[in-house]
Amino acid sequence: MTDPVSTADQVFRRSLELLLAKDIVGWLALCADDIVAEFPFAPEGYPRQLAGKAAVAGYMQDYPELIDLQRITSLETHAIGGSERVVGEWSAEGRVVPTDTPYAMSYVVFVSVRDGLMTHYRDYWNPLGIPSSFSDAKSHQTGAATA
């Protein structure tokens, strides 16, 4: 029998619940100390790779003040290579907090898990979907993160 939050699918789904709850501390608790987060399509000015939990924490710390994620509009997961890796395809809506403008984004995320913690998080978010208000808001925030 597995731990209630131990498979990659379970950890990934729990991470989305925590993002919706704006619980960044809880989200970070799902990360291994040596996590690597990658954002291959990140535009200029956004990190493409973060190494270690501290770097990811710095990236995520202001997320709720920047993006008010309100609902997940679609979610599909696909286990790859057993229970330790999952691909999540999901879309979300909410608002850009500083400007109170709509936010909508689609994501494809590859997550690897070891001992119930995320060790690798590769997020193919679409930079073309960033509203200009988001970019304006980000320029006013230090350490602001995107999902």
Residue 117, beta-bridge partner list: 114
Beta carbons of 116 and 6 less than 8 angstroms apart:
yes
User: DSSP secondary-structure letter at 42?
Assistant: P
Q: Which of 26, 40, 30, 35 has the alpha carbon at shortest distance from 54?
A: 35
Identify the CATH class of 8-139: alpha beta
> Cα torsion at 79, 111, 138, 41 (round to 10°)?
-80
pLDDT reading at 52 higher than 80: yes
pLDDT average, residue stretch 57-68: 93
pLDDT average, residue stretch 104-111: 94
pLDDT reading at 85 higher than 70: yes
Worst-scoring range by mean pLDDT, 42-46, 49-53, 60-64?
42-46
Within the chain, residue ranges assigned H as helices are 8-20, 24-29, 53-60, 63-66, 132-139
Task: Sketch the domain layout of the chain as residue ranges.
Answer: 8-139
- Looking only at the bridges linking them, the beta strands covering 117-123 and 31-38 are parallel
pLDDT reading at 35 higher than 80: yes
Residue 81's pLDDT is what?
83
